[in-house]
Protein backbone atom coordinates (compact mmCIF):
# COMPACT_ATOMS: atom_id res chain seq x y z
CA UNK A 1 0.00 0.00 0.00
CA UNK A 2 1.44 3.36 -1.01
CA UNK A 3 -0.07 6.33 0.79
CA UNK A 4 0.75 10.01 0.40
CA UNK A 5 0.33 12.24 3.38
CA UNK A 6 -0.84 15.76 2.70
CA UNK A 7 2.18 17.97 2.19
CA UNK A 8 4.55 15.01 1.81
CA UNK A 9 6.28 13.69 -1.31
CA UNK A 10 7.27 10.38 0.26
CA UNK A 11 5.88 7.12 -1.10
CA UNK A 12 5.25 5.16 2.05
CA UNK A 13 3.27 2.44 3.74
CA UNK A 14 4.05 -0.56 1.51
CA UNK A 15 2.39 -3.74 2.80
CA UNK A 16 4.14 -7.13 2.69
CA UNK A 17 3.15 -9.32 -0.26
CA UNK A 18 1.65 -11.92 2.10
CA UNK A 19 -0.85 -9.39 3.43
CA UNK A 20 -1.62 -8.14 -0.06
CA UNK A 21 -2.40 -11.68 -1.17
CA UNK A 22 -4.87 -12.02 1.72
CA UNK A 23 -6.73 -8.99 0.43
CA UNK A 24 -6.75 -10.50 -3.05
CA UNK A 25 -8.48 -13.52 -1.55
CA UNK A 26 -10.98 -11.27 0.24
CA UNK A 27 -11.87 -9.59 -3.04
CA UNK A 28 -12.40 -12.96 -4.67
CA UNK A 29 -14.64 -14.03 -1.79
CA UNK A 30 -16.71 -10.86 -2.10
CA UNK A 31 -16.57 -10.80 -5.91
CA UNK A 32 -15.65 -7.14 -5.59
CA UNK A 33 -12.38 -5.91 -7.07
CA UNK A 34 -11.05 -2.53 -6.01
CA UNK A 35 -9.52 -0.22 -8.59
CA UNK A 36 -7.56 1.52 -5.84
CA UNK A 37 -6.15 -1.23 -3.63
CA UNK A 38 -4.71 1.28 -1.18
CA UNK A 39 -8.14 2.41 -0.05
CA UNK A 40 -9.14 -1.21 0.57
CA UNK A 41 -6.04 -1.74 2.73
CA UNK A 42 -6.76 1.48 4.59
CA UNK A 43 -10.30 0.31 5.39
CA UNK A 44 -8.81 -2.55 7.41
CA UNK A 45 -5.97 -0.60 9.05
CA UNK A 46 -6.52 -0.07 12.77
CA UNK A 47 -4.94 2.86 14.59
CA UNK A 48 -2.84 0.45 16.68
CA UNK A 49 -1.13 -0.78 13.49
CA UNK A 50 -0.42 2.80 12.46
CA UNK A 51 1.07 3.56 15.89
CA UNK A 52 3.47 0.63 15.62
CA UNK A 53 4.57 1.57 12.09
CA UNK A 54 5.03 5.32 12.52
CA UNK A 55 8.02 5.54 10.19
CA UNK A 56 5.95 4.11 7.35
CA UNK A 57 3.13 6.54 8.10
CA UNK A 58 0.19 4.26 7.37
CA UNK A 59 -3.27 5.84 7.51
CA UNK A 60 -5.90 4.27 9.76
CA UNK A 61 -9.53 3.66 8.82
CA UNK A 62 -11.19 6.25 11.06
CA UNK A 63 -11.99 8.76 8.30
CA UNK A 64 -13.36 5.99 6.09
CA UNK A 65 -15.48 4.84 9.01
CA UNK A 66 -16.95 8.36 9.26
CA UNK A 67 -17.84 8.33 5.57
CA UNK A 68 -19.10 4.75 5.61
CA UNK A 69 -21.45 5.51 8.48
CA UNK A 70 -23.14 8.23 6.40
CA UNK A 71 -23.28 6.11 3.22
CA UNK A 72 -24.74 3.18 5.13
CA UNK A 73 -27.44 5.33 6.74
CA UNK A 74 -28.39 6.84 3.38
CA UNK A 75 -28.50 3.47 1.59
CA UNK A 76 -30.54 1.78 4.32
CA UNK A 77 -32.87 4.78 4.56
CA UNK A 78 -33.61 4.72 0.83
CA UNK A 79 -34.20 0.97 0.90
CA UNK A 80 -36.61 1.18 3.85
CA UNK A 81 -38.41 4.21 2.39
CA UNK A 82 -39.13 2.30 -0.82
CA UNK A 83 -39.68 -1.12 0.73
CA UNK A 84 -42.18 -0.04 3.41
CA UNK A 85 -44.37 2.73 1.95
CA UNK A 86 -46.89 2.50 4.81
CA UNK A 87 -44.34 2.77 7.61
CA UNK A 88 -44.31 6.04 9.58
CA UNK A 89 -41.24 8.24 9.98
CA UNK A 90 -40.85 7.08 13.57
CA UNK A 91 -41.06 3.40 12.60
CA UNK A 92 -38.58 3.89 9.76
CA UNK A 93 -36.15 5.59 12.13
CA UNK A 94 -36.46 2.81 14.69
CA UNK A 95 -35.94 0.09 12.10
CA UNK A 96 -32.95 1.85 10.53
CA UNK A 97 -31.37 2.24 13.96
CA UNK A 98 -31.66 -1.49 14.59
CA UNK A 99 -29.96 -2.27 11.25
CA UNK A 100 -27.02 0.14 11.55
CA UNK A 101 -26.38 -0.33 15.29
CA UNK A 102 -23.14 -1.89 16.51
CA UNK A 103 -24.52 -5.42 17.25
CA UNK A 104 -25.95 -5.68 13.72
CA UNK A 105 -22.77 -4.40 12.08
CA UNK A 106 -20.77 -6.94 14.06
CA UNK A 107 -22.98 -9.72 12.68
CA UNK A 108 -22.41 -8.51 9.11
CA UNK A 109 -18.65 -8.22 9.66
CA UNK A 110 -18.40 -11.70 11.21
CA UNK A 111 -20.34 -13.30 8.39
CA UNK A 112 -17.78 -11.84 5.98
CA UNK A 113 -14.83 -12.84 8.20
CA UNK A 114 -13.63 -9.24 8.21
CA UNK A 115 -11.94 -9.72 11.57
CA UNK A 116 -9.14 -11.86 10.17
CA UNK A 117 -8.14 -9.19 7.65
CA UNK A 118 -7.78 -6.29 10.10
CA UNK A 119 -4.25 -4.91 10.40
CA UNK A 120 -3.61 -4.66 14.15
CA UNK A 121 -0.76 -3.66 16.38
CA UNK A 122 0.74 -6.45 18.49
CA UNK A 123 -0.74 -5.15 21.72
CA UNK A 124 -4.25 -4.93 20.28
CA UNK A 125 -3.84 -8.40 18.79
CA UNK A 126 -2.81 -9.92 22.13
CA UNK A 127 -5.80 -8.41 23.94
CA UNK A 128 -8.32 -9.90 21.53
CA UNK A 129 -8.87 -6.81 19.42
CA UNK A 130 -9.68 -8.89 16.34
CA UNK A 131 -12.91 -10.01 18.01
CA UNK A 132 -13.80 -6.74 19.72
CA UNK A 133 -17.33 -5.69 18.69
CA UNK A 134 -16.59 -1.97 18.33
CA UNK A 135 -13.59 -2.71 16.12
CA UNK A 136 -15.58 -5.06 13.86
CA UNK A 137 -18.45 -2.59 13.52
CA UNK A 138 -15.97 0.15 12.61
CA UNK A 139 -14.33 -2.04 9.98
CA UNK A 140 -17.66 -2.79 8.33
CA UNK A 141 -18.41 0.94 8.11
CA UNK A 142 -14.93 1.78 6.84
CA UNK A 143 -15.26 -0.90 4.15
CA UNK A 144 -18.54 0.70 3.03
CA UNK A 145 -16.77 4.07 2.89
CA UNK A 146 -13.91 2.63 0.84
CA UNK A 147 -16.27 0.86 -1.54
CA UNK A 148 -18.23 4.07 -2.05
CA UNK A 149 -15.11 6.08 -2.89
CA UNK A 150 -13.74 3.40 -5.18
CA UNK A 151 -16.88 2.37 -7.09
CA UNK A 152 -19.82 4.58 -6.16
CA UNK A 153 -23.17 4.29 -4.44
CA UNK A 154 -24.76 1.78 -6.84
CA UNK A 155 -22.10 -0.82 -6.04
CA UNK A 156 -22.53 -0.19 -2.32
CA UNK A 157 -26.27 -0.82 -2.69
CA UNK A 158 -25.57 -4.04 -4.65
CA UNK A 159 -23.31 -5.16 -1.80
CA UNK A 160 -25.98 -4.36 0.81
CA UNK A 161 -28.57 -6.22 -1.28
CA UNK A 162 -26.48 -9.33 -0.79
CA UNK A 163 -25.40 -8.88 2.82
CA UNK A 164 -27.90 -6.72 4.72
CA UNK A 165 -31.26 -6.28 3.01
CA UNK A 166 -32.13 -10.02 2.83
CA UNK A 167 -32.00 -10.12 6.63
CA UNK A 168 -34.62 -7.39 6.78
CA UNK A 169 -36.78 -9.31 4.32
CA UNK A 170 -36.79 -12.47 6.45
CA UNK A 171 -37.67 -10.57 9.62
CA UNK A 172 -34.33 -10.42 11.40
CA UNK A 173 -35.30 -7.00 12.73
CA UNK A 174 -39.00 -7.69 13.18
CA UNK A 175 -38.66 -7.15 16.94
CA UNK A 176 -38.76 -3.41 16.25
CA UNK A 177 -41.51 -3.59 13.63
CA UNK A 178 -45.27 -3.95 13.98
CA UNK A 179 -46.30 -5.50 10.68
CA UNK A 180 -49.77 -6.34 11.97
CA UNK A 181 -50.59 -2.66 12.52
CA UNK A 182 -49.15 -1.73 9.12
CA UNK A 183 -51.19 -4.43 7.40
CA UNK A 184 -54.33 -3.28 9.20
CA UNK A 185 -53.67 0.26 8.00
CA UNK A 186 -53.22 -0.91 4.41
CA UNK A 187 -56.50 -2.81 4.52
CA UNK A 188 -58.36 0.11 6.05
CA UNK A 189 -57.05 2.53 3.43
CA UNK A 190 -58.31 0.36 0.59
CA UNK A 191 -61.46 -0.75 2.49
CA UNK A 192 -60.76 -4.36 1.58
CA UNK A 193 -62.50 -6.12 4.46
CA UNK A 194 -61.63 -7.98 7.65
CA UNK A 195 -58.30 -9.55 8.67
CA UNK A 196 -58.13 -12.79 10.61
CA UNK A 197 -55.11 -14.64 12.04
CA UNK A 198 -54.95 -18.32 12.90
CA UNK A 199 -52.29 -20.78 14.04
CA UNK A 200 -52.24 -23.64 11.55
CA UNK A 201 -49.37 -25.73 12.93
CA UNK A 202 -47.05 -26.20 15.94
CA UNK A 203 -43.80 -28.13 15.62
CA UNK A 204 -41.00 -29.24 17.91
CA UNK A 205 -40.66 -29.92 21.65
CA UNK A 206 -42.16 -27.57 24.22
CA UNK A 207 -38.81 -25.87 24.93
CA UNK A 208 -38.13 -25.25 21.23
CA UNK A 209 -41.50 -24.76 19.60
CA UNK A 210 -42.10 -23.35 16.12
CA UNK A 211 -45.49 -21.88 15.31
CA UNK A 212 -46.97 -21.44 11.86
CA UNK A 213 -49.57 -18.73 11.39
CA UNK A 214 -51.55 -17.49 8.45
CA UNK A 215 -53.45 -14.27 7.90
CA UNK A 216 -56.64 -14.14 5.89
CA UNK A 217 -58.49 -11.24 4.33
CA UNK A 218 -62.18 -12.01 3.89
CA UNK A 219 -61.28 -15.69 4.38
CA UNK A 220 -58.69 -15.57 1.58
CA UNK A 221 -55.12 -16.39 2.60
CA UNK A 222 -52.68 -13.50 2.18
CA UNK A 223 -49.55 -14.71 3.96
CA UNK A 224 -47.95 -17.41 6.09
CA UNK A 225 -45.36 -16.87 8.82
CA UNK A 226 -43.22 -18.90 11.21
CA UNK A 227 -41.76 -18.02 14.58
CA UNK A 228 -40.75 -19.16 18.05
CA UNK A 229 -43.94 -17.65 19.42
CA UNK A 230 -47.45 -17.15 18.13
CA UNK A 231 -46.87 -13.39 18.08
CA UNK A 232 -43.69 -13.73 16.02
CA UNK A 233 -45.41 -16.07 13.56
CA UNK A 234 -48.32 -13.65 13.15
CA UNK A 235 -45.93 -10.73 12.59
CA UNK A 236 -44.11 -12.61 9.83
CA UNK A 237 -47.43 -13.64 8.27
CA UNK A 238 -48.47 -9.97 8.25
CA UNK A 239 -45.14 -8.97 6.68
CA UNK A 240 -45.61 -11.52 3.88
CA UNK A 241 -49.21 -10.40 3.43
CA UNK A 242 -48.02 -6.81 2.92
CA UNK A 243 -45.76 -7.99 0.11
CA UNK A 244 -48.72 -9.79 -1.51
CA UNK A 245 -50.96 -6.72 -1.24
CA UNK A 246 -48.27 -4.40 -2.60
CA UNK A 247 -47.73 -6.68 -5.59
CA UNK A 248 -51.45 -6.79 -6.35
CA UNK A 249 -51.68 -2.99 -6.09
CA UNK A 250 -48.80 -2.57 -8.55
CA UNK A 251 -50.50 -4.93 -11.01
CA UNK A 252 -53.68 -2.86 -10.83
CA UNK A 253 -51.65 0.28 -11.65
Q: Which CATH architecture has domain 178-252?
A: 2-Layer Sandwich (3.30)
Domain chopping of the chain, boundaries: 17-169, 178-252
Q: What is the pTM assigned to this prediction?
A: 0.70
Give the pLDDT of residue 77: 97
Report how far apart, in Å, the C-alpha atoms of 88 and of each of 95, 178, 240 are: 11, 11, 19
pLDDT (tens digit per residue) in 57-88: 678 999 999 999 999 999 999 999 998 887 88
Give the pLDDT of residue 250: 59
Q: Which CATH superfamily is domain 17-169 in?
A: Ribonuclease III domain (1.10.1520.10)
Give the pLDDT of residue 188: 84
Q: Is there a binding annotation on residue 52?
A: no
Rounded (to 5) percent helix, strand, coil in the chain: 65, 10, 25
Q: Collect the ranges in the chain with pLDDT lower than 70.
A: 1-13, 55-57, 191, 249-253
Active-site residues: which are they?
A: 69, 141
Give the pLDDT of residue 186: 84
Q: Is there a binding annotation on residue 138?
A: yes
CA 25 to chain CA centroid, nearest Å: 22
pLDDT (tens digit per residue) in 145-171: 999 999 999 999 999 999 999 998 877
Q: Is there a binding annotation on residue 221?
A: no
Amino acid sequence: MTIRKKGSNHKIGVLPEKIKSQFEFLQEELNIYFRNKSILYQAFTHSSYVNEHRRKLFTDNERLEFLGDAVLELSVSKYLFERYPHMSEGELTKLRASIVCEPSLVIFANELNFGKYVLLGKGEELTGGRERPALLADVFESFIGALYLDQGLDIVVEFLERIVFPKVEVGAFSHVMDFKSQLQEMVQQSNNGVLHYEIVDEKGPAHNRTFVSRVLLNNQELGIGRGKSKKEAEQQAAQNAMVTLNQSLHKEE
